Structure 1
Amino acid sequence: MSTVLIVFLLYLIGMVVAGIVTARLASKSLDDFILGGKKMLTPVIALSEKGTDMSAWLLIGLPGQAFKMGIGAIWAGIGVWVGSLFNWLVIATPLRRLTGKYNALTIPDYFESRFGDSSHLLRITASILIVFFFTLYVSAQVVGAGKILAATFDINQVVGMVIGLSIILFYTMMGGFIAETWTDFFQGLIMVTALILMCIVGVISIGGLGNVFSRISAVDPKAALLSAGESGTALYLGLILGGLAIGFGYAGQPHILMRYMALRSEKEVKKAMIIAMTWTTFAVAGAIFLGFLAIPFLRGEIADPEHITLAFAAKILPGWLVGLVLAAATAAMMSTVDSQLLVTTSAITEDIYRKLINPDATQKLLVRLARIFTVVVAIIAFFLGLRAERLVYWLVLYAWGGLAASFGPPLILSLLWKGTTKYGVFAGMVVGAITIVVWYNVPILKNFLYELIPGFFLSLIATWLVSLFTAAEQRRTK
């Protein structure tokens, strides 16, 4: 355990150093704090986009799903890969071009500028949705970090939550987007390295690649089936649609979209896409294969599938590599939490305070306020995790879907269709959010179909129809 602790502490120290080194760079302006002045290196932005995207799902959730379902978990991986590729091919270039044209620092800022919304309807609506969903999301991730540290080092879960959140809060508050992207870059490297190493050692431990399927099938014959053992066309299609539906979420995630906005220019999109998609291929395939490999080693020993990554590492790796895997699992959470904190802070500082309350605020004041709001949001998220863990968990299950349905269709249409109106965007955001909440809480609907699918398409229809009916009104107001 001492070796594991040493490696993990070195990782945490590295995150603190990143915050100290980048603090001065982030202090120049709000643009520097929120988007790094759009001067970050392309490879750093590319890996930061993936680190921000994956969260603990990559190291904890996806391997656990593969351990439980077998190779059928590949559908979730395909959904992630396709959704990520769609964002890079369809969203990244026009979003970078238009946000640069309007000098927009945030998604609410973009919507207001794109449609000349002097009423601030879009900015206020989008900001409320961002603050609501992301505060809950941060809370759940912090609880997850507390559980991992508590289980690994035999400490109280609250102590684990405090340690994890304190490190994230320090480097995000001090270095802003610059610290966040650089730490995400290294965290992304740690994650993919840990996954590849575990897969290689796992294959060697199982007796070579040729023995993988036979060993797994001997333990669970259904694990080697793409249908995950489900029977019937409806169940099989449900499995596929449920996995692929994850991909719909990418176009509506502000913490991911900010990475495209932060590129130096739209010319950098292709290079960043190649780097990001290469990482995605190895990381997602590695996570699924890891869970698959763990079946003959841990099936029957582990009650909670989401514990298999660290349990498998402890079984097949030396202590210092177990420390690396622990750092990778923690990095997966940190690389998402820091981004969500910054997006939430940006919505409060840029979209509400500067644009609606104090347009003449100095850059020094705005950066100071951004740091203060980062602390405030983190504290609220922490106490939500302490006081309302079940409620937060219940809400965060559809936070991804809520963001996807609220922002995805309006954003896509605003970038690709000139007929989109501000009223259409408003309708899409509201219909998407309401559909997710209602669908999730009606058992007969939830059991029928993943709520993201109806939420996304109803939001798309609402944005399109309302835009058609309000086109004349928008022309008159202009």
Structure 2
Amino acid sequence: MIEVIFILYLLLIICVGILSNKFVSSQLDFLLAGRRLGPWVTAFSERASGESAWLLLGLPGAAIAIGYGEIWAVIGITIGIISSWFLIAERLRDETEKFDSLTIPDFLEKKFNDSSGLIRIISALIIGIFFTFYVSAQFHGSGKILNTIFGIEPLYGITLSAIIIIIYTILGGLLAVAWTDLIQGVLMIGTLVVLPIVGLFELLSFDQSLSELLKFDSIEKNSVFSGLTGFGALSVALGGMSWGLGYFGQPHLLIRYMAIKSVNDIKKAKWIAALWAIPGISGAFMIGIVALGYFGEDFFIGKDSEIAMPLLAQTLLPAWIAGLLISGAVAAMMSTADSQLLVSTSAISEDLKLNKVIKTRKSNKLTNTRYITIILGLFAYATAMYSEVSGDTIFGIVSFAWSGLGSSFGPAVILSLWWKKTTREGIIAGLLTGSIVTMIWGSSEFLKLIVTERLTSFVLAFIVVIVVSKFTYTKKEKNSNRDSGTQIQSGSYGIS
């Protein structure tokens, strides 16, 4: 039964891609769905794309491996999601339309009159590097799920997932992605809410008390500060909460703000997204804790704790419900992978101006954009195969990519929308700082033990943008297009 429901679900997703293809006739349609997405589709699409394999596999697995200290990640993520919608969504939607921008790099270049093209080039390289890892994590996660359901070898599961995701992404672009995300967002929130509740009721029937069942063997795992005090405890809390910083700079989420029909629709969408995030993120954490109580901590010794969710669903639920909820897990990975493929495609076709380089005729730009999607998907597929063979965890891969993207684009986007004295030089310096610090810090186990790269790279990039902008800001820039870009119908944006 699980297998049948899962296959029917995949067929539904492919059909959506085929139908969406009829509404795609330009790059604006392909990359931003013609800026005609409604609030419900936008909110669910942003949430489904934002919470990938790490939410339904990685976060429950981390809860089992790390313990109650992972609660800080839940808090930080929830705050980050809500803050991003309330602080930047409306302004970004308005300004990207004002500058006629299809991508974040395009917006930054036009806003800061970067005739050198450095912002575009650096941004495209950052997106290309970090999204390759990010998309590969989704393929990797899909392989784990298919292995759990069908017993398929993970390498074959990765291959099947990559084929499906690439096909419906090239068929319908963001329009197909957004509508499939709506379906997948509903399945995901169902999984995140239903599974831990059912699990808790099941645990109540056990002879042991609930408090005993949900207790780890070690003191460190039972402590929200991982048994540490002083700076160590602070590092645990800030490290977990630093996940929230990444939401300000994830290009595949920011394009949702850009694609919504109007600013008024954002006012509705942000509340929908917030109501999804609160039970959704906490539910993922509880799946790990409930799996711990049900199977016992010893069960996961020598096993992959990131398969806790599908194991719990198959064990506790009727086959047809388990099939739906496990489909929701694959939905999480597919939603993020397709969105990231689109952003990577836009980085190559638009930000590196590949179509101009190869002198593409206007009628063939859309075709070439789809070819680029296929090529990038194959690169991510190769990376996923390597990560499976080398034994990398989804949680670790996503953390690295999340940090690189969030710290590079987050400070740049926030300050470009809120601070009038931000300069071209400041943006370039911030992009470089966020990406380079992530790569250096993220490759050092010693540095990561002190403070996670998610926090250090974001904070340093934010400071660098401000400092460099202070030194390079001139009166000439004050009267440039920055003012025209921040003048909105009701007045001006930003602070002096």
Q: Give the TM-score of the pair, scaled to structure 2.
A: 0.90
Cα drift, residue 261 of structure 1 = 0.6
Q: Is 1:398–1:440's contact at 8 Å kept on the other side of the alignment? A: yes
2:77 and 2:97 map into 1 onto residues whose CA distance is 27
Residue in 1 that maps onto 2:464:
462
The 1-side partners of 2:200 and 2:387 are apart by 41
- 1:434 equivalent in alignment to 2:431: no
Residue aligning to 1:180: 177
Name the stretch that deviates more: 436-445 or 269-278.
436-445
Unaligned runs of 5+ in 2: 481-496
Between stretches 301-310 and 65-74, larger displacement belongs to 65-74
* 1:243-301 deviations in Å (ceiling 9; x for gaps): 10101111111001001011111222220011001011111121122222222211221
Give, in whole Å, the separation in 1 of the partners of 2:272 and 2:245: 21
Cα RMSD after superposing both structures: 2.5
The percentage of counterpart residues that share the same residue type is 38
Q: CA deviation at 1:378?
A: 0.8
- Paired residues for 1:210-221 under 5 Å: 213-217=210-214, 220=217
TM-fit CA distance, 1:151: 3.4
8 A Cα contact 1:217 1:223, kept in partner? no
Change (3 A) 1:84 1:200: same
Alignment correspondent of 2:43: 46
- Write out per-residue CA displacement over residues 376-407 of structure 1, whole angstroms, 9 at most, x where no aligned residue: 11112212333465498776541110111111
What is the distance in 1 between the residues matched to 2:254 and 2:272?
A: 16
Q: Pairwise mapping of residues 413-424 of structure 1 onto structure 2 (< 5 A)?
A: 413-424=415-426
SS in 2 for 1:301: helix
**Deviation (angstroms), 1:339:** 0.4
Amino acid at match of 2:51: M
Other-structure match for 1:405:
407
Q: Counterpart in 2 of 1:342?
A: 342
Deviates more, 1:6-15 or 1:380-389: 380-389
> Aligned in 2, Cα 1:358/1:469: closer, same or farther, shift over 3 Å?
farther
1:11 paired with 2:13, answer: no
Of the three residues 92, 95, 107, the one matched with 1:95 is: 92
Q: 216, 239, 244: which one pairs with 2:241?
A: 244
Kindly indicate whether the alpha-carbon contact (under 8 Å) linking 1:384 and 1:392 is maintained by their aligned counterparts in 2.
Answer: no
TM-score, normalised to structure 1, is: 0.93
Question: Following TM superposition, by how much is the alpha carbon of 1:132 offset from its aligned partner in structure 2, in angstroms?
Answer: 1.4
Contact 1:140 1:392 (8 Å CA) reproduced? no
Secondary structure of the 1:24 match is helix
Describe the SS at the equivalent of 2:353: helix
Which residue number corresponds to residue 376 of structure 2?
377
SS in 2 for 1:419: coil
Residue 330 (structure 1) aligns with: 330
Higher helix share: 1
Give the C-alpha shift of residue 140 in structure 1. 2.6
Aligned counterparts of 2:224 and 2:392: Cα–Cα separation in 1? 32
The separation in 2 between residues aligned to 1:154 and 1:412, in whole angstroms, is 45
Give the deviation of 1:156 after TM superposition.
Answer: 2.6
How far the C-alpha of 1:434 sits from its partner, in A, is 1.0
Q: Which residue of 2 aligns with 1:143?
A: 140
Match of 2:488?
none
1:315 partnered with 2:315: yes
Distance 2:81 2:7 in 1: 32
Cα offset, 1:334, TM superposition: 0.4
Does the aligned pair in 2 maintain the 1:139–1:392 contact within 8 Å?
A: no
Distance apart, 1:473 and its partner CA? 9.0
**Alpha-carbon distance in structure 2 between the residues aligned to 1:417 and 1:147:** 44
Greater CA drift, 37-46 or 443-452: 443-452
Contact 2:430–2:464 (8 Å) recurs in 1: yes
1:181-330 superposed matches below 5 A: 181-207=178-204, 213-217=210-214, 220=217, 222=219, 225=222, 227=224, 229-299=226-296, 300-302=298-300, 303-330=303-330
Say if 1:294 and 1:312, in contact at 8 Å, map to a contact too.
yes
